[in-house]
Structure 1
Amino acid sequence: MSAAQFAVAQAVNVLDAGSLLSAFGALGIAVVLFAETGLLVGFFLPGDSLLFTAGLLCAGGTHGSVHLALPQVLAAAVAGALVGAQTGYWIGRRGGRALLAHSRARRLHEGAARAEGLLARYGHAKAVVLARFVPVVRTVLNPLAGALDVPVRVFTVWQVTGGLVWTVGLVLAGYALGSSVPNVDRYLLPLVALVVLVSLIPLALEVRRSRARRASEGRAS
């Protein structure tokens, strides 16, 4: 790595989708989605906002310093998300529970509890698809599915289904908005904030349902 590349890497804000895309382009999308869906350390990365922002920056109506090619973005997003999830699953098969036990990240353990709840409530297929749309849960469910011995074929079919819907859907949503609204990149920050808020809705609903169930069980006992 040259001194200039090192300086760029140091200046990148990994929590900011725009900063990641400016520095690394489509390659950054693949790397971030691989880390977020395949490695427990990637639970904090901005998958939803990254996909939406990347789609937005592919549209001809944007005039910022970053412009991405839609085919490259779609290919990078799909590859990162699918390979990442499958990697996470195999990590889980080889000791995911032990890795999770050694982590001190509270959000990671909360995500694991919600992932187990999804698996118990919806079954393997539906849970694997739904987890793609819930931050943190999509990081933890893949190794958890491996640790719980979810059949390889079942996991693979449904993680591919969920991964395609999640990545392609968000990228095309951003692209459609960028193509229909002139100079939409001027409103990038509020749009990304909105995407993040919307992505947290399933998480908030699941927390609310879990609290309601615990309260109901407490009254029953």
Structure 2
Amino acid sequence: MEMDLPFVFLDLVLHIDKYLPGIIESYGFWTFPILFAIIFCETGLVVTPYLPGDSLLFVAGTLAGAGYLNIEVLIVVLLAAAILGDTVNYWIGHTTGMKVLDMKCSFVRAEHLDKTREYFARYGGITIVIARFVPFIRTFAPFLAGVGKMSYRWFLTYNIVGAVLWVLAFTLVGFFFGGLPIIKENFSLIVYLIIGVSMLAVGSIIFQMLRKSSCNERVTGPEGKN
């Protein structure tokens, strides 16, 4: 049973949006520090891009709309977590970025870094704002901004603008839906629906990655030769 505890904890962290109603019921106000920690880690640590972001904001907003959380406190907590997370990520990239990139870490996938570099090449600094709405890119963008020595003054501006747009967009949409009578009456069903959509999105990403890997293998052959 003790051997299962790490896996239970990992499942709780990775799918906190699914467990959030129960967490609120059990911990009350302490739910806010938990939400802060998850969003901070997802945006602030380059090794935790798999944590829930968009779905967590939406579910939290829905719960606030249903009366389970205070919306004002929720928005302040999420904004603080998102802004501080990106800031920490920037300075990690700025100070030790190349050492992190040289480390072989299964959580930091080369394709995610390459995709983020493509965003920077195409959109420049505004990538920090755009990346807020793109899973994985959201985690790597501030890190690469630090590696590339982007002016911190400009980074902070993009960081704040992106955080405000991201948090308000998902949280307030969730808050609106959470306040509807039909949502309140079928809240458990809605939560499972949100989780299902999130899993489909993740499944789609994994499918595309596997398909791309399969295509590359067919092109290069088993020994990597044309």
Q: TM-score range by the shorter chain?
A: 0.7 to 0.9
TM-score normalized by structure 2?
A: 0.76
Gaps of 5+ in 2: 213-226
Gaps of 5+ in 1: 1-5, 211-221
Structure 1 residues 50 and 103, CA, compared in 2 at 3 Å: closer, same or farther?
A: farther
Distance in 2 (CA, whole Å) between partners of 1:111 and 1:163 is 21
Q: CA deviation at 1:46?
A: 0.3
Q: CA deviation at 1:93?
A: 0.5
Distance in 2 (CA, whole Å) between partners of 1:136 and 1:11 is 18
Misfit runs of 4+, over 4 Å: 9-12, 195-201
Counterparts of 1:110-189 in structure 2 under 5 Å?
110-125=111-126, 127-180=127-180, 181-182=182-183, 183-187=185-189, 188-189=191-192
Render the CA deviation track for 1:74-109: whole Å, top value 9, x for unaligned: 111101000000110011110212213214226632
Report the residue type matching 1:15 in the other structure.
L
Secondary structure, aligned partner of 1:40: coil
TM-score normalized by structure 1?
A: 0.77
Percent identity at matched positions? 28
Aligned residues: 195
Report the residue type matching 2:12 in the other structure.
N
Counterparts of 1:1-221 in structure 2 under 5 Å?
10=9, 13-16=12-15, 17-20=17-20, 22=23, 24-60=30-66, 67-105=68-106, 108-125=109-126, 127-180=127-180, 181-182=182-183, 183-187=185-189, 188-195=191-198, 197=200
Report the residue type matching 2:63 in the other structure.
L
Distance in 1 (CA, whole Å) between partners of 2:200 and 2:10 is 26
Distance in 2 (CA, whole Å) between partners of 1:123 and 1:12 is 36
Q: CA deviation at 1:40?
A: 1.4
Distance in 2 (CA, whole Å) between partners of 1:107 and 1:184 is 39
Secondary structure, aligned partner of 1:43: coil
Deviates more, 1:162-171 or 1:108-117: 108-117
